[in-house]
Structure 1
Amino acid sequence: MTLKVIVFDFDGTLADTYDAFIEIANSLSGEFGYKPVDIKEQETLKNLSAKALIKQSEISVFKIPFVLKRVKSELSHKIRELEPIKDIPHCLKELKNQGYSLGIITSNTEENVMKFLTHHNLENFFDFIYGESTLFGKHRIIKKLLKEKQLLPDEVIYIGDETRDIYSAKKSRVQSVAVTWGFNSSQALAEQEPDFLINKPYELVTILQNYQYDVISDKTHFNSVTIQT
C-alpha cells in the first residue's frame, strides 16, 4: 500500500509552543487551583504522560476543559510571536514536493493554527486541519479522516511529540512517528513503542523514503525504530 497522507500534531511538533504553554499554564494556576510548574521540575515532567501530568498537578478533572479553553485563548495572543521548529519548513516543502498530502490534527484551535501558518507562510503546504480534538480523543479524529478521505490505515502516518499521539495512532491502526523535540522526553516516548522515534526533522524525510522502498518490497510494517544521527 502506498503512503499518501502525512498527518502532523501541531503544538511541540510543528510549532515551538512549549515555553508559551508553561508560561500560560503557570499564570492560570492560582485561578484554577493547581500547582505551577517549577523550572527545576520541567525535565522530570517531560517523562510523564498527559494523564500522569494531570495527576501530578492535583487539578480537579472537572476543571480541565475550562483550563484548556483558557490556555488556547491566551495562546492566541502569543501565536504570532512563536516560531516553527527548526528545519520544519524545509521538511514540509520537501515532503510536499514528493507528492504527499499533508494535514494537521490538533487539540489546539484551527484559528490559532491558521494564524501561525499564515504568519510563517506555511499555509499552502497543508491540505486539511482538524482542530479542537479532545485531550485524549485524537484517534476519533484520525478515524474520521480515514472515513472522509476514503483512506486505509496503511496510507496514513501520524507524527507527534506526546505519548498520547502514539496512543491515538495505534488505536487508529496507522503508523506513528514520535519526535523528541516537543513536550515528552525520548524516554517517555520510547516506552510507548512508536513505529519510529526521531531527534531531528530531516530524519522524517529519511524515514519516508525508506518506508516507500519497503512498501514496494511488500514490507509494510516496521518494528520500533530510532534514527540516530
Structure 2
Amino acid sequence: MTIKLAIFDFDGTLANTFTVFGESLNTLAVKHRFRQVTPEDEPQMRSMSAAEILRELRLPLWRVPAVLSDYRKMLHRRIGEVQPFAGTVAALEALLEHGVALAVATSNTADNVNAVLGPELVARFAALECGSALFGKSHRLRHILRQTGTDAADAIYIGDELRDAEAAQRIGVAFGAVAWGYTHFDALLLTNPAMAFAVPADLSMLYEPASEARPASRSAAEPVALLRRRDTN
C-alpha cells in the first residue's frame, strides 16, 4: 500500500485540547442541561463511541450543534494554551518532505488549526475541511478526496476516536489509529485499523519501506503487520 494522502483529525490527534475541553465540559453542561462529569467518569468514557458518550451525558442529539458552537468559541478564546502534541509538527514536515500530501478534516475552525500548527505549515496542506458538517465526517473525507483527486485506496485517515474509524470505513479509506488521543488505544485497535501509531514519530511508517518501518509498541505491531500482508497478496 502506497500512501499518497494522509488526512488527519485535529483535536486529540494533532492538537492537545484535553485541558481546555475538560475544563469547559461542565460549564457547557450547566448551560445546556446535560450531566456533568467527574474524574471517575473519564476512563469509561474514553472507551465509548460518540453515541455512547451522548447517552452517558444524557445529551440529546438536537442539542449537540449548539454545544459544539459554544465549545468552539470557548476554545478560540483559549487557543493560546493549546499546543500540538510533541513531535507532531516534525512528523508532518517529514511526511511532506517524503512526498506525502497532507489534509485536515475537523469540526474545529480554520483559524484554530492555523493558530496551533502555524500558518506556514498549514499553507502546505493539500486540503483543509473545517467547521460543522451537515452530513458528518465521512462527507468531509469524500470532499477531500475529490478536491485532491486522490483515490480512496491511496489515502489514509488518521484519528483518535471511534467515529474517525467509522467514517474512514464508511467510504473505503484506510484508518490509522493514534495512541496519544482521547479514545483508549485498545478500544481503537478493536476497529482493526490498517495502521497504528504509538508515538508521532511512528508516522514515518507512512513513507518508510516495510522492512524499515518499526512499530513502537507491541500493540501497534499487529495492525501494521496486517497492512504489510495485504501489500504482498
Kindly report which structure 2 residues correspond to 1:1-229, keeping only aligned pairs within 5 A, or say none: 2-118=2-118, 122-134=121-133, 137-210=136-209, 224-225=223-224
How far off its partner does 1:136 sit? Answer: 7.3
Work out whether residues 105 and 138 of structure 1, in 8 Å CA contact, stay in contact via their aligned partners in 2: yes
Distance 2:141 2:32 in 1: 31
Distance 2:225 2:24 in 1: 33
Distance 1:159 1:126 in 2: 15
Work out whether residues 26 and 37 of structure 1, in 8 Å CA contact, stay in contact via their aligned partners in 2: yes
Distance 1:90 1:129 in 2: 19
Unaligned runs of 5+ in 2: 214-221, 227-233
How far off its partner does 1:22 sit? Answer: 1.5
Distance 2:139 2:64 in 1: 20
Distance 1:20 1:135 in 2: 25
When structure 1 is superposed on structure 2, of 205-214 and 195-204 the one drifting more is: 205-214
Secondary structure in 1 aligned to 2:118?
helix
What is the percentage of aligned positions where both structures have the same residue?
Answer: 30
How far off its partner does 1:207 sit? Answer: 4.3
Partner AA of 2:98 in structure 1: Q
How far off its partner does 1:148 sit? Answer: 2.4
Distance 1:65 1:206 in 2: 36
How far off its partner does 1:150 sit? Answer: 2.0
How far off its partner does 1:40 sit? Answer: 2.0
Work out whether residues 25 and 36 of structure 2, in 8 Å CA contact, stay in contact via their aligned partners in 1: yes
Partner AA of 2:4 in structure 1: K
What does the per-residue CA deviation read over 1:128-185, in whole Å, with 9 as the maximum and x for residues that have no partner? 2100143971111111122222221112111100011111111111111011111100
Distance 1:165 1:207 in 2: 18
How far off its partner does 1:111 sit? Answer: 2.1
TM-score using structure 1 length: 0.87
Partner AA of 2:76 in structure 1: S
How far off its partner does 1:52 sit? Answer: 0.4
Q: How many residues align structurally?
A: 218
Secondary structure in 2 aligned to 1:224?
helix
Work out whether residues 5 and 102 of structure 1, in 8 Å CA contact, stay in contact via their aligned partners in 2: yes
What does the per-residue CA deviation read over 1:51-93, in whole Å, with 9 as the maximum and x for residues that have no partner? 1001000112221110011001110011121111011111111
Distance 1:88 1:179 in 2: 11
Distance 1:52 1:75 in 2: 24
Distance 2:122 2:149 in 1: 24
Work out whether residues 29 and 36 of structure 2, in 8 Å CA contact, stay in contact via their aligned partners in 1: yes
Distance 1:113 1:198 in 2: 22
Work out whether residues 177 and 196 of structure 2, in 8 Å CA contact, stay in contact via their aligned partners in 1: yes
